[in-house]
Amino acid sequence: MKNVLLAVTGGIAAYKAIDLTSKLTQAEYDVRVMLTDNAQEFVTPLAFQAISRNPVYTNTFLEENPNEIQHVALGDWADVIIVAPATANTIAKLSVGIADDVVTSTLLATTTPKFIAPAMNVHMYENNRTQRNIEVLKEDGYHFIEPGDGFLACGYVAKGRMEEPLQILQRINSYFSEEAKEASYEQSTFNGKKALITAGPTIEELDPVRYLSNRSSGKIGYALAETLQSRGAEVTLVSGPTALQPPKDVKVIQVESAHEMFEAVQSQFEQSDIVFKAAAVSDYTPAEMLPHKLKKQEGELSVTFKRTQDILKYLGEHKTHQYLVGFAAETRDIEQYALDKLKRKNTDVIIANNVGDRTIGFSSDNNDYTMYFKDETVVPLGRESKVNLAKKIIDELENRWG
231: domain CATH number?
A: 3.40.50.10300
From the annotation, which residues make up the binding site?
Answer: 283, 293, 327, 341, 345
Domain boundary pick from 119, 150, 185 = 185
As a whole number of angstroms, the distance between CA 237 and CA 254 comes to: 8
Domain boundary pick from 155, 185, 215 = 185
As a whole number of angstroms, the distance between CA 245 and CA 224 comes to: 14
- Angle at which helix 165-185 crosses helix 14-26, to 10 degrees, equals 50
Active site residues: 154
Do residues 227 and 327 share a domain?
Answer: yes
Kindly report the CATH number assigned to the domain that includes residue 13.
3.40.50.1950
Do residues 181 and 206 share a domain?
Answer: no
| pLDDT score recorded for residue 166 | 94
Judging by DSSP bridges, how do beta strands 157-161 and 148-151 pair with one another? antiparallel
Do residues 160 and 206 share a domain?
Answer: no
Considering the domain boundaries, does residue 274 fall inside one? Answer: yes
Do residues 173 and 138 share a domain?
Answer: yes
Do residues 139 and 272 share a domain?
Answer: no
**Phi, psi at 190, each rounded to 5°:** -90, -10
Helix ranges, 97-198 (H): 102-108, 122-126, 128-139, 165-185
Averaged in consecutive runs of 10 residues, what is the pLDDT profile of the chain (402 residues)? 95 95 95 96 96 93 78 91 96 95 95 95 92 95 89 72 93 84 75 95 92 91 94 95 91 96 97 96 91 87 92 96 94 91 96 82 84 94 91 91 68
Considering the domain boundaries, does residue 361 fall inside one? Answer: yes
Do residues 228 and 145 share a domain?
Answer: no
Range of the domain at 147: 3-185
Q: How many CB atoms sit inside 10 A of residue 164's CB?
A: 16
Do residues 116 and 236 share a domain?
Answer: no
The residue length of the chain stands at 402
| pLDDT score recorded for residue 183 | 67
Do residues 203 and 171 share a domain?
Answer: no
Q: How far apart, in Å, are the Cα atoms of 231 and each of 185, 190, 191?
A: 5, 6, 6
From the annotation, which residues make up the binding site for CTP?
Answer: 283, 293, 327, 341, 345
Domain boundary pick from 185, 216, 241 = 185
Do residues 167 and 105 share a domain?
Answer: yes
As a whole number of angstroms, the distance between CA 247 and CA 222 comes to: 7
Q: How many CB atoms sit inside 10 A of residue 53's CB?
A: 10
The answer to whether 33 and 21 are in contact (CB under 8 A) is: yes
Residues 6+ apart with CB under 8 A from 307: 283, 284
Global pTM reads 0.59
Work out the widest C-alpha separation in the chain, in whole angstroms: 98
| pLDDT score recorded for residue 160 | 77
Considering the domain boundaries, does residue 402 fall inside one? Answer: no
| pLDDT score recorded for residue 363 | 72
How many domains are contained in the chain?
2
User: For residue 36, which amino acid is it?
Assistant: T
Do residues 159 and 205 share a domain?
Answer: no
As a whole number of angstroms, the distance between CA 316 and CA 325 comes to: 10
Q: Is 80 helix (H, G, I), strand (E, B) or coil?
A: strand
Per DSSP, 368 falls in state: E
